[in-house]
Every structure is written in C-alpha cells, then in structure tokens.
Structure 1
C-alpha cells in the first residue's frame, strides 16, 4: 500500500484509505511478545493529559495498578472541554444592521448622586447570597471517572488552554510540568506519563515534547503512551520505535473499570466531554487487552 510521507518522514494517516474506510484488523498478536512495563520504584506519577479523558483511555490500567500500590497521582490537564457559551442572539434591524438582543432604550440613566443615595437596588435575595457555588462540570466528571477506575486520591492541576492550542503554548506547558516536577522531594520515585511526541495529534505531540524537555532537565523517568497512533500505526510500522515498547496486560476487571470510568466521565459531563480527539477507536484498531508504552 502506498503512503504519502509528511515533511518529517512519517506517513500521513489521512492518505491511508484503509484508515478512513475499511475495518482492517492489525496483527496485534505481534505485541504479545512485548516486555512488561515495570515501575516498581514509582511512588509518584505526574500525568500530562492534553484533553479530558485522554489519560483514562490510554493509560487507565497503568494508573489503576499504580494506585493500588499507593503511588501518588498528579494529573495536569492541559485543555478544557469545549463549552458552548455563546453571546446573546442578535436580531437584524429593518435596515439590515445587527442590534443587540437586549433593548437598552428604556434603561434609566443614573448619576453619581443616585448611586451614593442608594437609588440602585440589586435586589439580591438571601437565598442567592447563601447559595453554594455551582460545581465545575470538568471536576465532577473527572472525579466520577477516577472513582470508577478505583483511584481514591488524584491531585488535579489545570492549565486551561483551548482545545487545539497546546503547540502554541508549548513553553507554558513546559513551565507547568516543571512547577510540579521541580518541587518533588522524592525525585527518585517520580515518573512522568505523557503522550508520545509522534502520536499523530498536534496537542498530543506538543505535550509529549514538553514532557521530554522537563524530564531531561530534571533527570526524571518519562513513560510515553500511544493513543491516536493506533489509527495509523501497527506492529509493522517502522515509524514507531517498537524496541522501546513495553506493555501492561489488562485483566477483564481492569478493562471493565476503564469502560466504566469512560462512561462515568461522559455521563457526569452531560455528554459534553466528547471531542474530536476523544472519539473511540474503530473496532480492530486498539492494541488488544493491553496498554502499550514507550520508555
């Protein structure tokens, strides 16, 4: 099958008709011989997650295993789930101009004297004053997912970048990872988990590059996950450094927990947690009952 290579030599997934159309099963049996990933010395893991739910999809089994060993888990979420808070709808005036939906012609004007005299009454009820702040849907969704996965304590850090904007803020990502990693009082027991910098998604690759910079500077172990790569690569793909690949075999129980965590996230997010990056992989493109990492 002919493939079109991009500027850095990696074939372009969009040029592969079997990716777009057919369900061609990869020979995942070739991955059965991968050596197991052992992180026995990892007492704290810092996860760099480009998008909500990425870390659960790609590494939920590994996180579950480390959590069962009482390793501390920090998750740095780089982007926020897309929100659709739009400005008020505007109406067209007879002459074709757009006008604000709120008519301000009848709003009374107040002078400084009016304000000092207390002429404005905000009419805030006691119930509004005492009301609890509305829960952040991202936090609710993440908490539900981690609970389903079996992680009782996860420290969450949020950078708040727009979806698709990680590469434009790569230096900020480096700084954010450094702030978490650099103040560790147990660097020997610290690991960083991030996407592979060749994964095939712009946000994933930028996050992976940032993690590489920080872990090299602080001499911390880096473990890279594969996610979008499964839609364009297989065990026969020369683009993936398979000699560095390790696997975590998943039991039926852990697989069920991953599915439950994924469903809990989407349910708690009201269905708004799913993004284009987050689409489930087609049948036959996941690497079987295992998670694969590059070390």
Structure 2
C-alpha cells in the first residue's frame, strides 16, 4: 500500500462523491491478539487511548484480559479540541486581596477579609477537585466502553514536554513490564513513534525501547498521522498495519465514552472524534 503515490503523502481535499482515500484500508489484515492476557497502555494524555483504541480495549476486556494504563501527563490531550466556533472559557486568577491597616480594627470588615482569605485558601488547594473530576470522567468513559476494571499508574509529567522526560517513561514502563508474572501473555499498546505529535512520538520511542529490551509485543496506534497521511503515504509502514473492525454498538460506546469528557470532538471533521478512518481502528504491529 505504501509508495504508490507521489508528493508529500498528505490526504487530498475531499470533493463531491469522491471515494475517501482511507477506504483503501478496508483490505488490511485483521489485528489478532489471541495470546494477550494483559495489556499495558502508554497514554500520553487523558483520553488518548480511548480515542485511538477504545474498540481494542473493549475487545480484550471482553476476553478477560487485564488492562493497565500508564498515564504520562494529567494535561488535556491537544487532539481533544472543541468544535469549531465553541469558545472555551478560561479560568481567571482571583484578584489580589488588599488589606489596609484600618480593616483590622473594624470587626465587620475584618470578618469579611477573613472570609475572603478562607475562600482563596480553598481555591488554592492543590488540584483536589480537578483530580476527582478527571478520575470520575475516566471511570465513566471506561464504563461506557464496557471495560469494568482498569489499573491506572499516573506519572504527572508535563504536557507538551514528554520529549525531555523519555527516561522517566522508560523507567516507569520497565517497572511494570519487568515485574509481569506472565510476560508471554503481555502486550504493550502505545502511540506510533512517527505520529507527528511530540508527546506521542516520545511515548512511542520509550515503548519501543522497553519492548525491545524485554521482548514484549508492541502494538502502535495512529492519531495525528490521520491528519497528514493517506494510504499512499510512504512515511507510514502500511505493510505492518492491521485493522480492528468496529460494530455499530462499539462505535456508539466510543462516542458515549467521549461524551464522558464533555463530548468534545476532535479537530478533523472527516475523522469523527479523532478515531481511525471509517468503522475501524488501525494499528501498526
């Protein structure tokens, strides 16, 4: 499939009833992970793995494979952009609190000042409400997918800064993979290291290092690549591509999982919610 086109390999503009170029991916061989009894997912941002591989997560969970998610950052995925024309409100920092000497002698004014200080202290509490909201959304998303249990390991690395933290990712993933009781039934799922997003590529490189060291099977998903690569693109190793066909029920579950995060679709209109082209997920093996 690779190399039969010229130029940059970008997906051409859609026009009229033209056949979408990704329809050619319908002929890909199916992805089979029959021996996978434990899946370790390397997720650069919250929601990444659900967008790109929610159908695969559901299938393996239905086969009673256990699922671990190594969450690299707590920041929002930059692929999760709001719909066109929807403004995202920005949180404004609280105004500085000015206390004058005479305020401290007026009981009513002093009480008001203390109340404001208490309010500011609560708002500065380190991300407790944010963490609860994020965990609630993730739990709801996995429940919508039909994945009953997920073990999450959070690193808290900087969003848009994973390229400088690859050693941390390698170390954390090595600890999980290296202590696996059944390495032969283990499989790692991570972004493709040529995806086009700095964080995704850093996560992919780290996964490649660990899987090569421990001789564990690695499956890679594509995300940003769908915005610049078509089936004619020689930059993508299409010979290693496999597909997982999604039923209407599974596609509906992925949309429901996305809704748990506010239902904000991805930036590409022709790729609803940033998922793989058409009723399938595509992976590189």
TM-score, normalising length from structure 1? 0.74
> 2:262 aligns to what SS in structure 1?
helix
Q: Match for residue 65 of structure 2?
A: 71
Q: Would you say the 8 A contact 1:26–1:234 is kept in 2? A: no
Q: Would you say the 8 A contact 1:25–1:284 is kept in 2? A: no
Runs of 4+ that moved beyond 4 A:
1-4, 16-19, 21-25, 82-87
Tell me the CA shift for residue 238 of structure 1: 0.7
Tell me the CA shift for residue 191 of structure 1: 0.3
Q: Residues 214-225 of structure 1: matches in 2 within 5 Å?
A: 214-225=210-221
Q: Match for residue 97 of structure 2?
A: 102
Tell me the CA shift for residue 279 of structure 1: 2.4
Question: 2 CA distance for matches of 1:42 and 1:253?
Answer: 23
Q: Match for residue 144 of structure 1?
A: 140
Unaligned runs of 5+ in 1: 5-10, 90-100, 109-123, 268-273
Question: 2 CA distance for matches of 1:17 and 1:143?
Answer: 38
**Residues 80 and 221 from structure 1, CA distance in 2 versus in 1: closer, same or farther, beyond 3 angstroms?**
same
Q: Residues 132-211 of structure 1: matches in 2 within 5 Å?
A: 134=129, 136-211=132-207
Q: Residues 13-162 of structure 1: matches in 2 within 5 Å?
A: 18=13, 26-82=20-76, 87-89=93-95, 101-106=96-101, 134=129, 136-162=132-158
RMSD: 3.0
> 1:213 aligns to what SS in structure 2?
helix
Unaligned runs of 5+ in 2: 77-88, 105-117, 123-127
Question: 2 CA distance for matches of 1:23 and 1:225?
Answer: 29
Q: Summarize deviations over 1:108-166 as a string: whole Å, max 9, x none.
A: 7xxxxxxxxxxxxxxx9xxx9xxxx7561111110000000000000111111222111
Q: Would you say the 8 A contact 1:36–1:248 is kept in 2? A: yes
Larger radius of gyration: 1
Question: 1 CA distance for matches of 2:91 and 2:180?
Answer: 38
Tell me the CA shift for residue 284 of structure 1: 5.6
Residue 287, structure 1, aligned to residue 274, structure 2:
no
Q: Summarize deviations over 1:247-270 as a string: whole Å, max 9, x none.
A: 100011111111111111326xxx
Greater relative contact order structure (CA < 8 Å, 6+ sep): 2
